[in-house]
Amino acid sequence: MNMSQDKPVAIITGGGTGIGAACSRILSRDGFRVGINYIDPVEEQSRQVLSELEDGFLLKADLSNPDEIETMIAEIREKARRVDVLVNGAGISINKDINSMTLDDFDLQRAIVRGSWYLTKRILRLFMLRKNSGRIINISSVVGHTGNSGQIPYTMEKAALDAFTKSLCKELAGRNILVNSVAPGFIDTPMTQNLPDEVKSRILGSIPLGRLGSPEEIADLVSFLACRASYISGTVIHVNGGLYGG
């Protein structure tokens, strides 16, 4: 028997970059076999993260495409046969004001939260093979609560993930499947590194701790929810240096 098939399995969407990559690394250290979901533009980075893991595999799929999600589910069944933790970490941000935003832009943003919903729906069946146990962790954002100029569809997507968390928790009551959101503040990732200096200065001035967070600080909480938390569900946990109290 392949002993890796006895290990718990964590599937991480967007697991090859930023916060997702930090989650892949820490859950691998926690003893999980990690499935890294990625799309074409970040294949190289995803393969690099995979090379750093003790045990893992790649899952190429665009979450905006239900057919690719179905292919991904088939791959999970073939490569892992089980899922114990799902981290919905994939996301995009289209930065335009309401007058510049097009319907196509909006629909592209909306497709990610739809894909997270559909992937979760399909993976729940694999949780149920494990006697109705599992952990679902949605990576949302502080801006889903505070709003942010020029990011209306993005803030709507992140607020939707938190609403999804609370509703799914109630639907899964009694099944030992815990559902939570982690809402990062401003984190030191390529998304924030590319901001103009004056925007960065304004952001730092609004954070009581006076610095950006690190992807590892978000991953630490994901690890806790995946491995140790047993009486937390339906909750949005903010990790933002004091920017927003929740």
Active site residue 154: yes
The single residue listed with the structure tokens 């569900």 is 233
**Among 38, 118, 154, 231, the one annotated catalytic:** 154
In our burial notation (b when 16+ CB lie closer than 10 A, e otherwise), range 40-57 reads eebeebbeebbeebeebb
> To the nearest 5 percent, what fractions of the chain are helix, strand and coil?
50, 15, 35
Query: How is residue 98 written in tokens?
Result: 């309401």
Query: How is residue 206 written in tokens?
Result: 């609004």
DSSP alpha helix (H) spans, the chain: 18-29, 43-52, 66-79, 103-129, 143-146, 152-171, 190-193, 197-206, 215-227
Query: How is residue 73 written in tokens?
Result: 């589910």
Question: Could you list the active site residues?
Answer: 154
